[in-house]
Structure 1
Amino acid sequence: MAVAMASGLTESGTGDAGGRVAELHALREQARRGPSDRATEAQHAKGKLTARERIELLVDPGSFHEVEQLRRHRATGFGLEAKKPYTDGVITGWGTVEGRTVFVYAHDFRIFGGALGEAHATKIHKIMDMAISAGAPLVSLNDGAGARIQEGVSALAGYGGIFQRNTRASGVIPQISVMLGPCAGGAAYSPALTDFVFMVRETSQMFITGPDVVKAVTGEEITQNGLGGADVHAETSGVAHFAYDDEETCIAEVRYLLSMLPQNNRQSPPVVASDDPADRRGERLYDLVPAEGNRPYDMHKVIEELVDDGDYLEIHERWARNIICALARMDGQVVGIVANQPQALAGVLDIEASEKAARFVQMCDAFNIPLVTLIDVPGFLPGVDQEHGGIIRHGAKLLYAYCNATVPRISLILRKAYGGAYIVMDSQSIGADLTYAWPTNEIAVMGAEGAANVIFRRQIAEAQDPEAMRTRMVKEYKTELMHPYYAAERGLVDDVIDPAETRQVLIRSLAMLGSKHADLPSRKHGNPPQ
């Protein structure tokens, strides 16, 4: 006679296994379906996808493996004992993007408004730990109402665990935050600790204190989007790196970004075959950059001419537009491009441009992405606001980031390279591996007009025709100290190159530097300007 086993099976292998399996599938289906069709319809009515729909867009078809699907909270206060949905409002797991592993967690707004409770938080902690241990990127799909206040301080402690893991993973694995709904209070600090923040217009917001609190404290009336919407953070605060009109486009761009990043800090980004010839000449560059230093041009067009197929992903496109930061490929290899933009503020460095470029340089260095710096900079932006706002400290952030970077670093001077701003823009003197210049370069302490006014002040003042004397001295200064080969004669640039040959020169240089190895002095960590 068969003896019943603890599992519900019998020694002969019969029993109620089929019933147990059916029950398992029913529970899984309940967890996948979520609370109700009505809740799903409400989510769609707001122009938002559900958490599972978002994950399906992010990962390769059929690749998502969910963990802790049947997790439920254990809270008993404020009626929660009667509401214990599976997943506890967050879906966690891993899948692949273009065949490479990516870890994901997605808040389910249909369950408790996506609010974070104890079980919800521990699920996130676990998937973050798995991502760090496996050495694979982490993508968070955020759509939550903050802490679950019914659970009290336990929910707050859950945020602390997320922040601690964000910090531990920084520079180890790529972390991407995708904001697809509200993110208020302390919850907003987690995206700020990650490498990239994506937002969707009209449906996503981030702020520490909401409009009601702002009105109560300051009397100011403002909408949620006016306070912390996608355009605010993409254009004004610089919190968001990307902003899109809909979730589908946003998530597609997350996939594109992941294709240009390594799995972790011990790997390099994937190299892809390119049909764009490495030795392609760029004849258009002759006409894109005016020789006259005071004439603007669009640096984007220069970048398009240099990179594979003219394709690149600009980071912080709408914030600090006087500097461009972008990921692109050259002969299939991912590079980080930092470039002054003469069309905005003449390409000067200011507080925001320095911060933007510094963070980008640090990200590239952390994830083994070579740096190509395109220089056309007349200096730092003068002004009381800049000085009082700490331009010295903020400019030093970019200087520190470049000096600390050990990835291959190549600089190209297109036109102006004046004063301290030139030094900061990865000049040879702060460790650029190779520095090239076009024949249109002007490398100097300052512009010829300013230099002549300082050096020849007395001669100009005492001349019968001061303006004629000034013009003559400016010309003399340019002839003596600003001709295009002055820096090359003194070894301050490695070569003056034909603009049309720039792409092939950069690609050859990157290939040569591919095995570069550099060690920094042993230390716990640096103390960069903040």
Structure 2
Amino acid sequence: MTIANTPAGVADTGVSRLEKLRLLKEVVRDGDAEATERQHGKGKLTARERIDLLLDPESFTELEGLRRHRAQGFGLETRRPHTDGVVAGWGTVHGRTVFVYAHDFRIFGGALGEAHAAKIHKVMDLAISAGAPLVSLNDGAGARIQEGVTALAGYGGIFVRNTKASGVIPQISVMLGPCAGGAAYSPALTDFVFMVRDTSQMFITGPDVVAAVTGQSVTAEELGGAAIHATKSGVSHFDYEDEQTALDDVRFLLAMLPQNNRERSPRVPSGDSPHRTSERLAELVPDSGSVPYDIRAVLSEIVDNGEFMEIHEQWAANIVVALGRMDGHVVGFVANQPQVLAGALNIDASEKAARFVQMCDAFNIPLVTLVDVPGFLPGVDQEHGGIIRRGAKLLYAYCNATVPRVSVVLRKAYGGAYIVMDSRSVGADVALAWPSNEIAVMGAEGAANVVFRKQIAAAKDSTAERQRLVDQYHADLMHPYYSAERGLVDDVIEPGETRPLVIRALNMLRTKHTDLPARKHGNPPQ
């Protein structure tokens, strides 16, 4: 039985209408066998296979599966496949509603036309109305050239809806093939971007255009592959070796997120006592502020069962942002990483953390900040690159956040970086510190060289005098209880007590309510 290019869909009139419908849907679902083989030959799954991996079994309900384009010319009038190259609808992940659309590369290379775009607009509007997450499975060749400007207008409708949904429902983009030109802006507008190595690429202008304009020869993977966007541009939050692993982690991430900005993330009993202490914490963090350690090991001791999901792991590694659970509740963590650049803040780290803080605030996820920062990274490239403007993004994000906020100073917290890392002065609800904390304008040696410069220069033994004054400054202004004595730290705690005390603070703040001044929206530094 063959599918004809007729409204009825099935050529054989000797078959009942019900049977025709079943046969039509079967052919639409299975698609062209040769095209499927070509897709598999590239190491890629089909749109429906991807949806099956993402959603709970038998939960997908398709929308407009029989839709076809109405375009004329360039041979399109004789090529009117059902779905028009995108599969859209809703289902469940861990029993909760999720909307999804997936480009079908087997049809027009997944290129977007008018009907194709209308289906995406439909599912996006439903996701916003229903207050449920939206996942896009991207594998398309961009705008359908044969349909001209109407295809471009379709992208405009997607961008508007991405923006309307921003901070209202979680939006996740999974890159499973090419995404070029204006199409790349939709993933950039969403909350999280997943990529698969060797099969997904994103760029505004492709390798041929780059070569023609600049003379640079570059492959698609070198220009906009998963590794590039995960390590250099920061466009991709996660990258994977294969599609199944990527989609498994999308499911894991969705389990950590609320359905929308009016809800909280679901609590999951962990079996890890909220009263559990960890003597190992004191061993993990050296007393000397110049000795590096892995902040991830500290996080593992604090979160439920040592499990957390790090975001942007390979980009701006001098700061760690992650989602984890404490007493079953989802918490967002921001932590300096002393293993990289001594944990100093720079342009990329500031932007990475700022976006994460904004995401957590939008979706009612409490924030815990672990502070061990020597300051902002000095350098001409940082200053000329706009560290003032871009570093202010993190400051703005924290000052604007209304979710519960707890900060813990582990060791050093110097200068403006101390303020920016959710200090009491910018609104942290509860500020704690370990006995190893050093909170000051700058390190003792640098401070003594400024404050006592003339005295050191006049001394007979300037080296000995400098050391004496460094020790004096440290003892007077940088001892572990200086900030607590002035109310800038609520308590100096034993490292091993960090988990239960933070959980206690977060439980107290569960009903926190803060109103910002009436305004259309803020104007954050860009």
TM value normalised by structure 2: 0.97
Partner of 1:99: 95
Q: Is the aligned partner of 1:350 residue 2:363?
A: no
The residue type equivalent to 1:423 in the other structure is: I
Q: Distance in 1 between matches of 2:262 and 2:277?
A: 34
% identity of equivalent residues: 74
1:429 is paired with a residue whose SS is helix
Aligned mate of 1:21, from 15, 18, 21:
18
* CA deviation vs aligned residue, 1:415-448 (integer Å, no higher than 9, x gap): 0010100000000000000000000000000000
**Match of 2:4?**
none
| CA-CA distance at 1:56 after TM superposition | 0.1
**In structure 2, C-alpha distance between the alignment counterparts of 1:101 and 1:286, rounded to whole Å:** 43
1:228 counterpart residue number: 224
Query: Structure 2 CA distance, aligned partners of 1:18 and 1:286?
Result: 76
Q: Which residue of 1 aligns with 2:76?
A: 80
1:20 aligned partner, one-letter code: R
Distance of 1:509 and 1:297 partners within structure 2: 26
| Selected match of 2:46 from 44, 47, 50 | 50
Residue 28 of structure 2 corresponds to: 31
User: 1:31 Cα shift?
Assistant: 1.0
Give the equivalent residue in structure 1 for 2:471. 475
- SS of residue paired to 2:409: strand
Query: Aligned-pair distance for 1:18?
Result: 8.0
The residue aligned with 1:209 is: 205
Q: Give 3-state SS (helix, strand or coil) of 1:487's partner.
A: helix
**CA distances 1:49-79 after superposition (whole Å, capped 9, x unpaired):** 0000000000000000001000000011100
Matched, 1:485 2:469: no
Write the distance in 1 (CA, Å) between the matches of 2:35 and 2:155. 26
Match of 1:164 among 138, 160, 167: 160
How far apart, CA to CA, are the structure 1 residues paired with 2:70 and 2:466? 81
Post-superposition CA distance 1:437-485 (Å, at most 9, x none): 0000000000001000000000111111111111111100000000000
The residue number in structure 1 matching 2:493 is 497
User: Residues of 2 paired with 1:49 and 1:327: CA distance?
Assistant: 29
| Residue number in structure 2 paired with 1:458 | 454
Q: Tell me the residue number matched to 1:385.
A: 381
Aligned partners of 1:38, 1:471: CA distance in 2, in Å?
Answer: 78
Q: Does 1:283 align with 2:313?
A: no
SS in 1 for 2:410: strand
CA distance in 1: counterparts of 2:510 and 2:147, whole angstroms: 52
- Residue 299 of structure 1: CA displacement? 0.3
Deviation at 1:37, TM superposition (A): 1.0
Q: Deviations over 1:141-198 (max 9, x none)?
A: 0000000000000000000000000000000000000000000000000000000000
1:447 is aligned to: 443
Partners of 1:511 and 1:77 lie apart in 2 by 63
| Counterpart residue identity of residue 471, structure 1 | Q
Q: Quickly say closer, same or farther: Cα 1:33–1:451, change in 2 above 3 A.
A: same
The correspondence for 1:246, drawn from 242, 256, 260, is 242
Report the 3-state secondary structure (helix = DSSP H, G, I; strand = E; otherwise coil) of the residue aligned with 1:78: coil
Compute the displacement of 1:20 (Å): 1.1
Report the more deviating stretch, 317-326 or 37-46.
37-46
How far does residue 488 in structure 1 lie from its aligned partner after superposition?
0.5
For 1:297, the aligned partner's letter is Y
In structure 2, distance between residues paired with 1:505 and 1:164: 43
Report the Cα offset of residue 17 of structure 1.
Answer: 12
Q: Matches of 1:281 and 1:262 in 2, distance apart?
A: 29
In the alignment, what sits opposite 1:110?
106
**What is the CA deviation profile of residues 385-407 of structure 1, one whole-angstrom value per residue up to 9, with x for unaligned ones?**
00000000011000000000000
Aligned to 2:146: 150
Question: 2-side partners of 1:250 and 1:242: how far apart?
Answer: 8
Q: Find the residue that maps to 1:415 and give its secondary structure.
A: strand
How far the C-alpha of 1:265 sits from its partner, in A, is 0.2
User: Partner residue of 1:367?
Assistant: 363
Worse-superposed segment, 254-263 or 36-45: 36-45
Match for 1:242: what amino acid?
F
Per the alignment, in what secondary structure is the counterpart of residue 324 of structure 1? strand
Q: SS at 1:318's partner residue?
A: coil
**2:319 equivalent to 1:317:** no
3-state SS of paired residue (2:431): strand
Q: Following superposition, which runs of at least 4 residues in structure 1 exceed 4 angstroms of deviation? A: none
Q: How far, CA to CA, are the matches of 2:235 and 2:500 in structure 1?
A: 36
* Aligned residue type for 1:267: E
Shift of 1:23: 1.0
SS at 1:259's partner residue? Answer: helix
Residue 293 of structure 2 corresponds to which residue in structure 1?
Answer: 297
Match 1:125 to one of 115, 121, 124: 121
| Count, aligned residues | 515
Q: Secondary structure at the match of 2:83?
A: helix
SS at match of 1:178: strand
The residue aligned with 1:237 is: 233
Q: Distance in 2 between matches of 1:211 and 1:461?
A: 60
- 1:154 match: secondary structure: helix
Letter in 2 for 1:29: E
Answer yes or no: is 1:396 the counterpart of 2:392: yes
| Separation (CA, whole Å) in 2 of partners of 1:420 and 1:219 | 43
Residue type matched to 2:141 in 1? A
SS of residue in 1 equivalent to 2:445: helix
Offset at residue 308 of structure 1 (A): 0.4
Letter in 2 for 1:43: Q
Are 2:134 and 1:138 aligned? yes
Give distance in 1, aligned partners of 2:391 and 2:212: 37
Gap regions ≥5 residues in structure 1: 1-7, 9-15
Unaligned runs of 5+ in 2: 1-7
TM-score normalised by the chain length of structure 1:
0.96
Letter in 2 for 1:365: D
Partner of 1:410: 406
* Corresponding residue of 2:170: 174
Deviations 1:326-347 (A, max 9, x none): 0000010000000000000000
